Structure formats: structure tokens, C-alpha cells
Amino acid sequence: MKLKNLTKWGVMVVALAFSGCQEDQEVVQQSDIAKETLDKIYQMGFGTKEVQRVDNGYLVEGDIFLTEAALNDQHDPRFLRVGETEQYRTNSLVTPGASSVNPRVITVSVSSRLPASYKNGTQVAIDRYNAENLLIKFLLVSSGGNIVLEKANGSYLASAGFPTGGNPYGSVKVNSRAIGDGNTATFYNYVGTIIAHEMGHCIGFRHTDYMDRSYSCGGSTANEGASTVGAVQIPGTPAAADPNSWMLACIGSGQSRPFNNNDKTALNYLY
């Protein structure tokens, strides 16, 4: 996701990523990345524009981290569509619980290196998911979570990866220097929106405007890539544009995006 309308940063990658994935990592120019690697990224169904090499892998689509090992795995990527504004998922999902009464609990912890306000924002994100009575439930813990929010620097707001082996991706890199700090409900909701977006990646969601990121980011049409299998449309969703999805690629500074009806349909379809 990209952050729009930030005076300090200009147009920022907000897939909640701004550009890198870890502190003090080397960021390599696109021209220095081998065509073979870009081809593998494309074949996985990810965009190859502004790909960055970071520690142990690559950052794609602004906030999605792919390891070297992931690039060399056999892939069967799939996505699901909400009308003409798409909700996409990868083929890798989290193994859910048996029912909403007995959901799988996924713990989330926040590094002490992040401002205290980020715990409030994370709780906002968790509350949004848990209000949907899904087959997964999130729980904020003091340390050692299944998903750990870690402090990071670089040209991004936050970044995450996708599930493996039925488990959520284990970390969200958060650039608190770029996001800022605050002690208001407005700020908590903003951070909560960023964290909920990255948690969405951790459980298998792609960007809603995957096929044309200019929808939320502006500028020229930017198709993030081609998947190798067809789309599955979620029944009962409208064929109109969806300007408020929590998984849009870009976000305005200070914006809050709770789940809209299409988001809720997608979440309940998967979990």
C-alpha cells in the first residue's frame, strides 16, 4: 500500500511499506536485480515494478516480502474477486479453527522498540477482525506472538509476507519514524488500519486493487502482475468500484479504513 499526501515523504509506499523490510538493510536498485529473478516474481503473480532487494529476499508491491526460498518453490497462486474491484488471496492460507465458537487463536505482540501508542493501534486492528466472528481470532500478548510487530527503518511504512504451512506470516516490519506517533483515537485508528492491512497479508490477502494500483495510488495504470490460474468471484458482491477497502494498495495520511461490506464478505468467505 502507498501512503498518499504526506508532505514529509511525498508519495509513499504504504502497502504499508515504504521501501525496505528491515533496519539498516541494503536496498538495491531495480536495474541491479537479475531478469531471472524478476521473471520468477512475475510468475508468482506479483508485480515487477519497483522491486527492491533487501536482507534475505525482495520487497514487492510496496509491502510484500518474498524470501529467496519462496521464489524457488513450486507455486499455485490463486485469487478471489469481489466484483470488478478485486479481493485477492494467495493459495496459502491460515488453517482456521473448527468454528467461530472455537476459533484458532493467533497471538500478536508489539516490540518494546515501537512507541506505546502502537499497542493501542494494534488492538484497534485486532478488534476489527474479532468483531467479524471468524474461524480465526487474534489476541494481543506482551511478547512472543505468532505475529510480531518489529521496528524497522527505510522507505516504507510497514511490510509483511504470506502464510506458509497453514500458519500466518510471523512478522510485520513497522517504520514508526515514517508513520509518526500520537495519543488520540484518530491516530490509533490510522495505525490500526496500517496494522490490519499487514495482518491481512499475514493471513493470505493480496491488494484489493491488484489489477490496477492507480485506482488508489493515482498516476498511470499499474497492474501488479498476472496470476497463473483463474479468479473466483465471491457471490453477492457488487460490480462497482470499491474506494474504501482495507486492502487497497495506497492510503492517505491519517486515514482510517474499517472493513467495508465487501471486505467482510471476503473475510467470511475465507475464514
> How many other C-beta atoms are found inside a 10 Å radius of the C-beta of residue 76?
11
Number of domains in the chain: 1
Give me the chain's average pLDDT, please.
77
Give pLDDT tens digits for 89-128. Answer: 666 789 999 999 999 999 999 999 999 999 999 999 999 9
> Looking at residue 244, what is its pLDDT?
81
Residue 12 pLDDT > 80: no
Q: Which three cell numbers stand for residue 256?
A: 482510517
The residue range of the domain holding 77 is 2-270
Task: CATH number of the domain at 204, please.
Answer: 3.40.390.10
Contact 138, 159 (CB under 8 A): no
pLDDT band for 176, please (50, 70, 90 cuts): very high
Count of CB atoms within 10 A of residue 133's CB? Answer: 13
Q: Per-residue pLDDT tens for 239-271?
A: 455 678 898 777 788 999 999 988 898 899 889
pTM, 2 dp: 0.79
How much is the average pLDDT of 43-59? 77
CB neighbour list of residue 250: distance below 8 Å, 6 or more residues apart = 1, 2, 3, 4, 14, 213, 216, 217, 218
CA 16 – CA 212 distance, rounded (Å): 17
